[in-house]
Structure formats: C-alpha cells, structure tokens
Amino acid sequence: MRMSRYFLPVLKENPAEAQIVSHRLMLRAGMIKQSSAGIYSWLPLGFKVLRKIENIVHEEQARAGHHAMQMPTIQSADLWRESGRYDAYGEEMLRIKDRHGRDMLFTPTAEEMITDIFRAHVGSYKDLPLTMYQIQWKFRDEVRPRFGVMRGREFYMKDGYNFDLTKEDALHAYNRHLVSYLRTYERMGLQAIPMRADSGPIGGDNTHEFLVLADTGESEVFYDSAVTDLTFGDRDIDYDDHAQCAAVMEEFTTKYARTDETHDEALFHEVPEERRKTARGIEVGQIFYFGTKYSEAMKATVQGPDGKPTPVHMGSHGIGVSRLLGAIIEASHDDKGIIWPEGVTPYHCGIVNLKQGDEEADAACDALYKSITALGLEPLYDDRKDRAGGKFATMDLIGLPWRITVGPRGLKNGVVELTSRRTGESVEMAPEAAVQKIAEIYAQH
C-alpha cells in the first residue's frame, strides 16, 4: 500500500472526548470514527488490525479442533423464554418487534440459539464431543458506553460452545479452551492472566476471565505476582490429551488471581506479602462451564450408552475481538503513539522516502517495496511529498514495528536505515540486508 493512495485520516490534536490512551490513539491514527454512543465505523487501518486478530483466533480455534459457523444476530425471543433468560437478562439486551409484532432481540450471546441447533441435529452420544464457535457482531445496550472500543455497545466477539456427555468431558473442554486462549493471546503480544471470576447472566460454577493488566482496566484484580512469570511459549500440546490440558490449567490457575467479584481476603493473605499485588485489569475473554443449565431447560438430550436420553453438559467461551485492539494499545504504546506487536501489526514495515521525486531515492523505495511484497509481507510506503518530520510522526503514531528510511545521502554510501519502533534503535545496512532482516523477524510470526 502507498500512503498517497490510502485513506488514513490522522488527527494532530487529541480528541476531547477520548479519556484513555487506546481511544485517543485509535481516533488520532484514523482507525475508527464514532457513529453514535458506543458504536464505531472501522476505517481501513483499524479494520486491517481487526482482521489480523480475528485470523489468529480462527487459527487457534482450528488447532484445538473447534468448528467455525455463523448464527443470526437477530433472534426470536421464544428461544430465550425457553431458557428463562428473556426477562432475566436485563436492559443491556436490545429487545425489538418485527413488523408482525413478534418479540425479537439483537443477540448479546448465543447459548439458546446454539442449543436449538444442537437439539435439532445431534441425537447420540457417539456424535460427542462437539465444539462450535462464531465470530460475530454483538450488541449490549450499556448504560454508559465509554473508553472507545473497550466498552462499546456494538462489539465484535468470538463466542464458542461445547457439548459433552459427562461433566468430566466438559471440564476437559474447559481446560482445552484455556490452553487455546493462552496461545491466542501470546501470539498477539499480550499476557492475559486467567483469573477466577463471576459468571454473571451466563451462569455456571466454573469460570475464568482473561485479564490484561493496565491502569485503565475496568476491573480491580488481586493476584500473586508469580503469575506474571508464567508463559505458554511454543509448547506442543495434544488437545485430546486430558492430562496434558489439565496440567496447563493447574499451572496457570493454582496461584492466586481473582477479580474483585470473587476476591477472598483470607486466601489472598496466604500469598507471601511481597507477592501480593492489586491492580486494574482489562477483560479480553472468559470461559464458562455451566453443566446442564441450558440443555435441561431446552431439552437438548442425546441417547446415552445405556439407551436413555441424557442432557448434555455445556460450556461457553468468549474472546472480545474488537476489545483486544484497545487492550493491545493500552499495553503497548508510548508518548508518540501505538507500538504494534509483530503478530497483529496492520503492515509489517513502513518505508519512508526522505526525498520523494529524487530519481535514485524513488527507485530504491520501489525496489524495497517489491522485494518485501515478494516475501508475502505487506509494506506501507510513505510516498507523499511531505516533510520528513511529518512522515516520521505519522509512522510513530500508527505504530508499525519496523521502518526503513531511504534518503539520497545514505544511498550514496549504499545504505538505508532500519528502525525499531519499540526501542527506537536504528541501524544502517544495505537495502538487501534490510529486506532479509525483515524476513527473519516475521518468520517467527
């Protein structure tokens, strides 16, 4: 992509309505535009990052053996009355009527819909286990939407649902999801800590939220600082191995880590004093096991090994895909702008031409652009006839992790400058070496 042809409406001044860093930088970087309270249009740069995050979620769900699907955003109230949640859910659910006067709703979650699909098509325990998921726009009518995409009314979410014959099998699905989520977040450059949480309107006894520590987090969290030393890394996990998944669950959830709703002061004081920490956290996902709550209410049964109808055990698992953009920015920025981790960056590197119109500089930038593109990577080439300072400021604001700077003076010595956005360090090298370095960096991602 060339900047001269790109739609990137960056702002020089901080928007008055933006209270936190991620909202401010997303508006300034031309990633989103507010349509109404808590509802945003996703402009090209923001939409590109949203798709990068979505693709990582899809890849890790497929790795865990889960099946992608799509359900309607508008659902019949009748299904929700079956489960007993239509009246219980609260005013966050947008209730509407169609032209025939039938009660409908804009789905905030889809336990009822997926249970209805399951009971219509699955009749035997031999078809289990089964996990299906979707990534879909949701709507919750927040009383006070704020913080940009962090607490909006319309949001993009991955919601998955498992169906198992026994509690033991369903808890394995729970553990399997924890493993897949740890991989997902680490690929995005995040440390998301699983914390014992409250189940809220979803229900169930077992639930963990995944929280990213940040000063602007909406939740107060209490944790043993030893949990921040845990990393999943490149482990080779067999998702069908109950013991292996359970071991990861134990490793990442044994040390104290809880949200304020489930905080237990007595247990917390069993943690050594120097490791007792209190902070704010941004929720980026949650997993639930709720047993037969929905299957019994909605008669979702299978024929068990004994030939008798058996209610299936269920769980649900969510990732806030759009919210993750805000969380990543809150965790990775400086006073100049965003710093994208390599796994989710909208473009793999920026190319800055210090003297657009100079024959040699233009040719060198074009060659770099073609070489990087040929590797299957995406560069963003700033080919505008602007001052160098303005070009650097834009690149710093939008946060591409690497920048190649090309100017006549360097080219006379056969070099360009490769700069790390995270460290600010610059190294002069031959253009071919810069391309090779970019290739090596992204081979790990």
Tens-digit pLDDT profile for residues 369-390? 999 999 999 999 999 989 999 9
SS3 for 150-168 is HECCEEEEEEEEEEECCHH
How large a percentage of the chain has pLDDT more than 90?
84
Is a pLDDT exceeding 50 seen at residue 117? yes
In tens, the pLDDT along 317-371 reads 999 999 999 999 999 999 999 999 999 999 999 999 999 999 999 999 999 999 9
User: What is the mean pLDDT of the segment spanning 176-199?
Assistant: 92
pTM for this model (two decimals): 0.94
Tabulate helix, strand, coil % of the chain (nearest 5): 35, 30, 35
In tens, the pLDDT along 399-443 reads 999 999 999 999 999 999 999 999 999 999 999 999 999 999 999
Q: Say what the pLDDT of residue 143 is.
A: 85
Is a pLDDT exceeding 80 seen at residue 201? no
- Residues 260, 59: Cα–Cα separation, whole Å: 32
Is a pLDDT exceeding 50 seen at residue 182? yes
Q: Say what the pLDDT of residue 296 is.
A: 92
User: What is the mean pLDDT of the segment spanning 23-39?
Assistant: 95
- Residues 350, 339: Cα–Cα separation, whole Å: 13
27 phi and psi angles, rounded to 5 deg: -70, -45
Is a pLDDT exceeding 90 seen at residue 151? no
Is a pLDDT exceeding 60 seen at residue 78? yes
Cβ 122 vs Cβ 302: under 8 Å: yes
Structure tokens at 274: 């120097």
Q: Say what the pLDDT of residue 205 is.
A: 61
Q: Say what the pLDDT of residue 294 is.
A: 87
- Could you give the angle at the alpha carbon of 290 between the alpha carbons of 287 and 292, nearest 5°? 145
Q: Say what the pLDDT of residue 199 is.
A: 58
Peptide bond into 72 cis (omega under 30): no
In tens, the pLDDT along 271-290 reads 999 999 999 999 999 999 98
Identify the band that residue 200 occupies on the pLDDT scale cut at 50, 70 and 90. low
Strand order in the sheet with 103-106: 74-76, 103-106, 94-97
Amino acid 319 reads I
Identify the band that residue 202 occupies on the pLDDT scale cut at 50, 70 and 90. very low
Is a pLDDT exceeding 80 seen at residue 299? yes
Q: Say what the pLDDT of residue 138 is.
A: 93
Q: Say what the pLDDT of residue 203 is.
A: 47
Structure tokens at 33: 């535009």
Q: Say what the pLDDT of residue 142 is.
A: 86
Structure tokens at 82: 């079956």
- Name 130's Cβ contacts closer than 8 Å, sequence gap at least 6: 67, 118, 122, 162, 163, 164
What is the H or E stretch that residue 79 is in? helix 77-83
Identify the band that residue 147 occupies on the pLDDT scale cut at 50, 70 and 90. confident
Is a pLDDT exceeding 70 seen at residue 204? no
Task: Return mean pLDDT, the chain.
Answer: 94
- Residues 162, 118: Cα–Cα separation, whole Å: 10
- Could you give the angle at the alpha carbon of 44 between the alpha carbons of 40 and 47, nearest 5°? 60
